[in-house]
């Protein structure tokens, strides 16, 4: 289940300040409230309203309706500093089109929609971080922006929020964010400099052949044969065109063709995804796939259309901000074994767009607890996490603010 051999190292209770520990009931209550009313990308109206209601109650300045349903809260520190800086904290809000299979009191009340990736926890952590900072403004200098972002799962809310100006007025100097992570056990924190998560690119290949009778193939151009050759050839891209030191994936996830046993298909459609860490490969895969498909189709007498979408770039963490987060993480976990540097994943995240604009660090907060059956993978109908991790997330964010802004 876990992507690391690191043992479960519970967070030492004395490492989380009592004022943050006291927020744990509120963290759980708000997370469960959000969990029961999950909403898909750019439809997070109830979620945004719940966040805005709390921010208003706590008299925290905020802007609503940013990139449709996004919210930006602003907490001004009162501590003096030679150079005032602005640190942003980002949390995603959207859920997934999955029917929840958990039998819990806070189960999703919406058919076919659930928080199966921990975004409800991200919202709770960010919101309670905003509350804590608003109550302790004398402890830090500068400005903290809390960005509640819609549509991470798709079609992507980071770029629209950036275009709406969330990184300006005042300019953000650095940004951090976390992902509750069931690939790491509770009590561990995954932090690494450089590439953390992969670029996400999607392709659709529509092949046009010439159909006919299954017993008379000489009169046809078999789209299934053409498509099969393409599937096989695409697997050679990573094996023979990519430096073995670079990790990459080309996956064909769908192959649709044919209507009957004795009919040669005239069309076939393939869809798939490309993943990689190295930003230098940003233009490589589209060109290489197009070249391969063009060659095979030409050799077989078929034609094609390639639709290629570059969804998210890779998540690249800044070394200096990563060192800051790593220092905080090392202070919080009981032993150094709890800080896991080898935590890359070929999963993608549109946090990457923020990290392209300003230096920052995105990290994983271990949240799996097999002893409580809280270790199902992300995007699984029975996904859930150990809520003990929520207060740890607040503590990490608060310490990062204090270290960076001071």
pLDDT at 81: 77
> Is 269's pLDDT higher than 60?
yes
pLDDT at 8: 45
* DSSP code at position 334: S
What mean pLDDT comes out for the span 108-115? Answer: 98
Per-residue pLDDT band for 80 (boundaries 50, 70, 90) equals: confident
pLDDT digits (tens, 9 = 90+) for 181-203: 999 999 999 999 999 999 999 99
The rounded percent of the chain whose pLDDT value lies above 70 is: 96
Q: Which of 405, 18, 27, 359 is nearest to 180 (CA)?
A: 27
Catalytic residue selected from 44, 92, 94, 384: 94
pLDDT digits (tens, 9 = 90+) for 124-161: 999 999 999 999 999 999 999 999 999 999 999 999 99
Catalytic residue selected from 100, 152, 153, 384: 152
pLDDT at 341: 87
pLDDT at 3: 38
Residue reference for tokens 């520190």: 77
As a whole number of angstroms, the distance between CA 104 and CA 368 comes to 17
Provide the sign of the torsion angle of the four alpha carbons 144, 147, 148, 153, taken in this order. Answer: negative
Ordered structural domains, the chain, with CATH: 13-197+314-405 (3.40.630.10), 199-312 (3.30.70.360)
pLDDT at 11: 61
Q: Verify whether residue 139 is a known catalytic residue.
A: no
Q: Give the burial class of 255: count Cβ atoms within 10 A of its Cβ; 0-12 exposed, 13-18 middle, 19 or more buried.
A: middle
pLDDT at 9: 46
What mean pLDDT comes out for the span 304-331? Answer: 97
Provide Rg for the chain, Cα atoms. Answer: 24
What mean pLDDT comes out for the span 315-325? Answer: 98
> Is 83's pLDDT higher than 90?
no
pLDDT at 128: 98
pLDDT at 342: 80
Residue reference for tokens 């300045």: 61
Residue reference for tokens 């403004």: 137
Q: Verify whether residue 94 is a known catalytic residue.
A: yes
Q: Which of 251-265, 321-335, 363-377, 387-401 has the lowest mean pLDDT?
A: 321-335
As a whole number of angstroms, the distance between CA 181 and CA 189 comes to 9
């Amino acid at each position: 289940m876990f992507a690391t051999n690191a043992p479960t190292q519970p967070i030492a209770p004395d490492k989380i300040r009592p004022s943050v520990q006291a927020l744990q009931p509120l963290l759980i209550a708000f997370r469960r409230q959000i969990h029961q009313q999950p909403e898909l990308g750019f439809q997070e109206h109830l979620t945004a309203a719940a966040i805005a209601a709390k921010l208003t109650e706590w008299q925290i300045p905020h802007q609503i309706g940013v990139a449709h349903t996004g919210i930006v809260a602003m907490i001004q520190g009162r501590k003096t500093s030679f150079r005032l800086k602005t640190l942003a904290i980002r949390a995603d809000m959207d859920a997934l089109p999955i029917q929840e299979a958990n039998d819990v009191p806070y189960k999703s009340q919406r058919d076919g929609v659930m928080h199966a990736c921990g975004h409800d926890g991200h919202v709770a952590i960010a919101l309670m971080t905003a509350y804590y900072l608003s109550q302790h403004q004398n402890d830090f200098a500068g400005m903290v922006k809390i960005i509640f972002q819609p549509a991470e799962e798709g079609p992507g809310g980071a770029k629209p929020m950036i275009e709406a100006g969330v990184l300006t007025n005042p300019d953000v100097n650095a940004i951090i964010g976390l992902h509750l992570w069931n690939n790491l056990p509770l009590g561990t924190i995954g932090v690494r400099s450089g590439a953390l998560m992969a670029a996400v690119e999607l392709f659709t290949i529509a092949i046009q052949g010439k159909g006919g009778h299954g017993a008379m193939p000489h009169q046809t151009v078999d789209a299934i044969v053409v498509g099969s050759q393409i599937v096989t050839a695409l697997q050679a891209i990573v094996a023979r065109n990519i430096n073995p030191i670079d990790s990459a994936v080309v996956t064909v996830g769908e192959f649709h063709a044919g209507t009957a046993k004795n009919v040669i298909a005239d069309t076939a459609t393939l869809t798939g995804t490309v993943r990689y860490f190295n930003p230098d490969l940003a233009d490589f895969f589209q060109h290489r796939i197009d070249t391969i498909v063009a060659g095979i189709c030409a050799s077989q007498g078929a034609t094609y259309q390639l639709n290629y979408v570059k969804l998210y770039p890779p998540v690249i963490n800044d070394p200096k901000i990563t060192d800051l987060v790593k220092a905080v993480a090392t202070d919080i976990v009981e032993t150094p074994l709890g800080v896991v540097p080898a935590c890359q994943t070929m999963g993608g995240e549109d946090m990457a767009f923020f990290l392209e604009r300003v230096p920052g660090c995105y990290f994983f907060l271990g949240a799996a607890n097999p002893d409580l059956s809280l270790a199902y993978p992300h995007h699984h109908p029975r996904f859930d996490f150990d809520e003990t991790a929520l207060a740890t997330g607040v503590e990490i964010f608060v310490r990062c603010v204090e270290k960076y802004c001071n």
